[in-house]
Structure 1
Amino acid sequence: MKDHKLLVENKLSSKEVFKGKLLHVFYDEVKLPDGSESSREWIKHPGACAVVPVFENGDLMMLRQFRYPMSQIFWEVPAGKIDSGEPEDQTALRELQEEAGVKTEDYAYVGHFYPGIGYSDEVIHIYVAWNLESVPQKVDEDEFVTRERIPFSEAVEMVHSGEINDGKTVICLLRAWEWWAKNSPFKLNQSSID
């Protein structure tokens, strides 16, 4: 059996080099497993939650949003950062209402993932929601999104074709699709799951 603990790097020092509204950048000196020293630059992130909202007919509520770093519009699931002291499920339900304009009391935690392990400590928690009720959309003042219902199966096909290529959305859709196939609280139309 291999000793994976021999891979651990130990922090020698840490310096915050940038503090923004959302992200904090650190420069750390570390001791490597072989005893030598190196540096690590990384981003501290508060974490986020993402929700895959499923209607009874098998449609999802998807979002379209322009993302400045890529200068393009992406298909996305509703998602957002965890506010300080906010429970993760509350973040998920808040983002569902604010961005997608739907609410529910019926949801499940599907899991989590780390989108940028080489440069960030961000974790994204994945939820599936159903028994959705329409409510007014309440996006942030500097946030512009459009909503569109598409069949769950079509969204998964769009992942495989590359039309949906936001990493967060790709992972959330595939993990939710697998969860839904095993745990669906209601049966979808046959055409929506084939």
Structure 2
Amino acid sequence: MILYERSDESIQVVKVLAVHRQKIVIVRQFRRSMNEYTYELPGGRLENGEQPRAAALREMQEETGLKCSRLTELGTFIDSERRVAAGLYFTNEIVAEGPQSLEPDERIEVRLVGIEEAFSNVLHRRWRDPRLGVALILARSKGFLDRR
């Protein structure tokens, strides 16, 4: 794993750590490659010629039905094993709620989870996506998830 605050690496995937109603937006979906349900941040692959920020806004709305007005870049996570660069973003500015726009074969359940519960799920390996854990740590280190 390699982590950059900013990177010129070619980002192929985006993930959004969103706070809505003081909770973290998590998606639960079945991953055929793993043959199990996973808990992840909303996100996905960039479309041809698409900029990472635009992809993050699009994926957030498609997977969750939530439209955000602004994203803050957290960093770039590079999975050195799979050689995939993921742009990580943060938002707490949800401006509209609507229906999901999923592909016919997608089944994604949206969950709102307390911030400390999210950290606990990562710490105790109930959620195993490393990008989720890294995004939580980066967001907290930048003061976006201050404990109250």
**TM-score category, normalised to shorter length:** 0.7 to 0.9
Distance 1:89 1:124 in 2: 11
Deviation of residue 119 (structure 1)?
4.5
Other-structure match for 1:131: 93
Match of 1:49 among 9, 14, 22: 14
Distance 1:80 1:147 in 2: 15
Distance 1:151 1:61 in 2: 9
Task: Tell whether the 8 Å contact from 2:11 to 2:86 is kept in structure 1 after alignment.
Answer: no
Deviation of residue 158 (structure 1)?
0.9
Cα deviation, 1:27-55, whole Å, max 9, x if unaligned, reads xxxxxxxxxxxxxxxxxx97111001112
Other-structure match for 1:8: none
Cα deviation, 1:84-127, whole Å, max 9, x if unaligned, reads 11111000000100011101112201110111x1442x200000
Other-structure match for 1:91: 55
Deviation of residue 60 (structure 1)?
1.2
Counterparts of 1:51-70 in structure 2 under 5 Å? 51-55=16-20, 57-70=21-34
Task: Tell whether the 8 Å contact from 1:110 to 1:128 is kept in structure 2 after alignment.
Answer: yes
Deviation of residue 175 (structure 1)?
2.0
Distance 1:142 1:178 in 2: 37
User: 3-state SS of the aligned residue for 1:168?
Assistant: helix
Distance 2:77 2:138 in 1: 10
Equivalent position amino acid for 2:24 in 1? L
Equivalent position amino acid for 1:54 in 2? V
Equivalent position amino acid for 1:175 in 2? L
Task: Tell whether the 8 Å contact from 1:63 to 1:76 is kept in structure 2 after alignment.
Answer: yes
1:178 correspondence with 2:141: yes
Deviation of residue 193 (structure 1)?
2.3
User: How large is the RMSD of aligned CA atoms in angstroms?
Assistant: 2.0
Distance 1:139 1:178 in 2: 33
- List alignment gaps of at least 5 residues for structure 1: 1-44
Larger Rg: 1
Cα deviation, 1:113-157, whole Å, max 9, x if unaligned, reads 111x1442x200000011212122111222111011111221011
Distance 2:135 2:32 in 1: 22
User: 3-state SS of the aligned residue for 2:71?
Assistant: strand
- Give the share of equivalent positions with the same residue, in percent: 25
Other-structure match for 1:164: 127
Task: Tell whether the 8 Å contact from 1:66 to 1:72 is kept in structure 2 after alignment.
Answer: yes
Equivalent position amino acid for 2:105 in 1? D
Structure with the bigger RCO (C-alpha within 8 Å, sep 6+) is: 2
Task: Tell whether the 8 Å contact from 2:11 to 2:87 is kept in structure 1 after alignment.
Answer: no
- List alignment gaps of at least 5 residues for structure 2: 1-9
Per the normalisation by structure 2, the TM-score is: 0.84
